[in-house]
Amino acid sequence: RAKANGRGQAVEYAPELDQERQRVAEMEGRLKGAIKSGAIEAVFQPLVSATTGAVTGLEALARWRTATGNISPEVFIPLAERCGLIDALGVHMLRTSIEHAKNWPDLALSVNVSPVQLCNPEFAAEVISVLQELDFNPKRLTLEITEGVLMTNPDQARRSIDQLKRVGIKFALDDFGCGYASIGALRQFGFDRMKIDRSLVSALDEGANGADVLRATISLATALQIPVTAEGIENSRQAAILREAGCDQLQGYLMGRPMSAHDISSRLEEESAA
């Protein structure tokens, strides 16, 4: 089967395109099954106080382990967004992370939300009903969203955010500094927290003016009275610079990797024993 292009020339049949399409379709089927059967799991990464070093919260991150290896959320989240599975995946992650978080009553819980979910007019009501059903205090919950949503559908994003903030849920602007979100957007959408992207943190190791950029960004947020979390901290030099620059919360492999619920419980026990 040869197709013609716009200028009427025949282009060659490309079997690898069909193969690619088939591979994506097969992966969609597997993802759908994985969501249904509960095979997508939550791991939790500590959010640590910059002043005391204590764990004050946890970020839930989705994991898909298959017989042939682990698939990264950087792969399956965009896939779920494209094929209409993100709402089901998002609700599953919210439920399962809340169920675990009930074992850690003193900690805040952060859950990532896709811009696609936030633009669904039913999203806010669904979150509220899950919280009621599981009897979880909305004040403990932060939803992390990336700046994409502020561009694509600002009006619906706003409505969802407002509705959820009214019941006490907080919002964090995720991955700040690697895209287009402005400091103004932080205030405009009522964000409660800014999360500095890992790329800005790792730039600290490359010398140049990385530290100045970070200090300026953090002081702008602080001027708006928006607290700042730094993500992706891997060494103590980065941690010292970020603490000094005014971040009140630190996150990264240095403070703790994403862990199973079981490992988080052990870590918390160790801390309270110490």
Q: The tokens of 89 are what?
A: 């995946």
Residue 217 near ligand C2E by CB under 6 A: no
- Residue 268 contact, options Mg ion, ligand C2E, none, Cβ 5-8 Å cut-off depending on partner type: none
114 near ligand C2E, judged by CB under 6 A: yes
Q: Is 117 in the site for Mg ion (CB under 5 A)?
A: no
Distance CA 220, CA 181 (A): 13
Distance, in Å, from the CA atom of 19 to the CA atom of 127, rounded to the nearest integer, reads: 38
- Distance in Å from the first CA to the final CA of the chain: 70
Query: From start to end of the chain, where are the E strands?
Result: 3-4, 10-11, 40-49, 55-66, 69-71, 108-112, 141-145, 170-176, 193-196, 228-230, 249-250
Among 144, 181, 193, 233, interactor with Mg ion by CB under 5 A = 144
Q: Which does 113 bind (CB under 5 to 8 A by kind): Mg ion, ligand C2E, none?
A: ligand C2E
Strands 193-196 and 170-176: parallel
Q: How far is the C-alpha of 116 from the C-alpha of 121, rounded, in Å?
A: 10
Q: E-assigned strands of 204-270?
A: 228-230, 249-250
Q: Does 41 bind ligand C2E (CB under 6 A)?
A: no
**Least distance (Å) from ligand C2E to the CB of residue 171?**
13
Determine if 61 is a binding residue for ligand C2E (CB under 6 A): yes
Among candidates 59, 60, 125, which has minimal Cα distance to 87? 125
> Considering beta carbons, is residue 147 or 231 the nearer one to ligand C2E?
231
Q: Return the residue of 46, 57, 148, 258 that touches ligand C2E, per CB under 6 A.
A: 258
Q: Which two tokens stand for residue 187?
A: 């205030």
Rg value, the chain, Cα: 21
Distance of alpha carbon 131 from alpha carbon 159, whole angstroms:
19
Is residue 232 a contact residue for ligand C2E (CB under 6 A)? yes
Report the partner that residue 147 touches, choosing among Mg ion, ligand C2E, none (CB closer than 5 to 8 A by kind): none
CB of 195 to Mg ion, least distance (A): 5
Distance CA 269, CA 259 (A): 14
Which of the residues 88 through 107 are near ligand C2E (CB under 6 A)? 93
Name the segment binding ligand C2E (CB under 6 A); options: 8-16, 100-108, 131-139, 227-235. Answer: 227-235
Binding residues vs ligand C2E (CB under 6 A): 45, 61-62, 72-74, 77, 93, 112-114, 144, 174-175, 198, 231-234, 252-253, 258
Binding residues vs Mg ion (CB under 5 A): 112, 144, 174-175, 231
